[in-house]
Structure 1
């Protein structure tokens, strides 16, 4: 794993792709909302910041035979992204991937793998940094190298400052997978049962995108360029058709924390969430377009 190298990945995307991604997160549920139309109608179209998660995907690289990973037991544990330049609604992006570390927890406990994506535009300008943490349940004892991502801190023990609910559609996973993640776990009832689920589950990155939508609606409506960072821990799966409730905590010094739960089962599905927003004045300044 230490010596594995990814090929550079390029992807062109259009307004149609950007709208399809937003629809997969539930945008457009109120077709008369001006804020919703910013993401679902080509006039003055904006890209949802969480779209950086799915652009220029490297494919099913974990199945590469030389890696000898037990990919069938892989779980997506955490996800983070930092926006360095607002993502345009159409264009071309280039991704460079690398494994930044592996933490071996022992033969019985598996391992954690940390993957980094650096996303640039066609001119080579940085767009985003995206980090994924995967739990390799079947690969304990594989050895370790590199460094883990910083630990995500627990949330405060108090009532949330904002609470937003969003029902998902029974066909939500079927719609979201058209944005690139075609894993049959999210479509095939038979394969979902083989993996231990009652039925196909919603993509974890779709749930994260829904939380991103809630954060923007509560804290920066109509101004997606203000969102500069999002990080979450995936704690439980979501079944399409369930209602996702996002609970947002505003802390001292402008720190924003959040979690999401499924209302029907009262289980937390995203935990230890953290977000960063640019002040409105800085977000409007061309000089602050690229963040360091």
Structure 2
């Protein structure tokens, strides 16, 4: 099924209305592993409504939205769902996210890249409320077998990690039921819950949502490097490099730089198989 890149990138923006409440934020935080230990003051920032701070990656699920599904319904895009992978994700936050809100989200396809044997569709979703812009999400959708249409290859997202040892290394064990919790925030893909469906997709059991790993990782960086200050995160980008199974342990390595944190995430029990690569958390100076 061909992709009409010109039609996709020139289509009129699509708008949707989003709304969320504290319970949606709390559920998202639980879905990415917050609340352990349950009475830890640092964890209560994520799990108690009276102290609630919103992790910026909540933007990927706010209002129950699924950017990946939205991108596949854009004009000019007709693809086989079996050929689709979530290639990468970037969230840029323009100000701290409110615990309760209503916003209008505008979605466009700013680019379709030709990678030779595959295509990469970039879906941009920009959300704003009555006080102005809230966030911009760029979702990269990798479609196998749809390249070769003569388009631009696009920029490289590869980032070299420092040669020195990481400044922080932590491990985060994924709960056996983590995917079942996370899907309650809006991603109902049976690949993450139904063993039979997972086997049909080539996995021996359901896999964790990539965006769940994305959230787990950002929380680790905020907790370990930023002292729990979610407001210092200005942008967060990653490339999905491998799958995670519920019950596995993630090894998160962090390199602190003046205005960013470089991150590598691997599956500790599978000889550090890559999970997230080319991962950067941009941060504002302390006290700003």
- TM-score normalised by L of structure 1: 0.89
Paired with 1:33 and 1:133, the residues of 2 have a C-alpha distance of 36
**Match for 2:206 among 179, 200, 207?**
200
**Match for 2:47 among 22, 40, 43?**
40
Alpha-carbon deviation of 1:150? 5.7
Residues 137 and 12 from structure 1, CA distance in 2 versus in 1: closer, same or farther, beyond 3 angstroms?
Answer: same
Paired with 1:52 and 1:143, the residues of 2 have a C-alpha distance of 33
Residues 7 and 230 from structure 1, CA distance in 2 versus in 1: closer, same or farther, beyond 3 angstroms?
Answer: same
**Match for 1:93 among 84, 97, 103?**
103
Once the two structures are superposed, the pairs formed by residues 91-130 of structure 1 within 5 Å of their partners are 91-106=101-116, 109-121=117-129, 123=130, 125-130=132-137
Between the two proteins, the alignment pairs up a number of residues equal to: 277
Paired with 2:214 and 2:36, the residues of 1 have a C-alpha distance of 18
Paired with 2:201 and 2:122, the residues of 1 have a C-alpha distance of 23
RMSD between aligned residues: 1.9
Structure 2: segments with no counterpart, 5+ residues: 1-7
Q: Secondary structure at the match of 1:173?
A: helix
Contact 1:70–1:139, Cα closer than 8 Å, also in 2: no
Q: Secondary structure at the match of 2:204?
A: coil
Paired with 2:101 and 2:54, the residues of 1 have a C-alpha distance of 11
Paired with 1:196 and 1:72, the residues of 2 have a C-alpha distance of 11
Alpha-carbon deviation of 1:148? 3.8
Q: Counterpart of 2:24? A: 17
Paired with 2:10 and 2:234, the residues of 1 have a C-alpha distance of 32
Contact 1:118–1:126, Cα closer than 8 Å, also in 2: yes
- TM-score normalised by L of structure 2: 0.90
Structure 1: segments with no counterpart, 5+ residues: 283-292
Alpha-carbon deviation of 1:224? 0.7
Once the two structures are superposed, the pairs formed by residues 1-292 of structure 1 within 5 Å of their partners are 1-56=8-63, 57=65, 60-61=69-70, 62=72, 67-106=77-116, 109-121=117-129, 123=130, 125-144=132-151, 148=154, 151-251=157-257, 253-265=258-270, 266-282=272-288
Paired with 2:260 and 2:61, the residues of 1 have a C-alpha distance of 26
Alpha-carbon deviation of 1:139? 1.5
Contact 2:66–2:186, Cα closer than 8 Å, also in 1: no
Cα deviations across residues 67-86 of structure 1 (Å, max 9, x unaligned)? 32122211111111111010
Alpha-carbon deviation of 1:7? 2.8
Contact 1:95–1:118, Cα closer than 8 Å, also in 2: yes
Contact 2:60–2:66, Cα closer than 8 Å, also in 1: no
Residues 220 and 65 from structure 1, CA distance in 2 versus in 1: closer, same or farther, beyond 3 angstroms?
Answer: closer
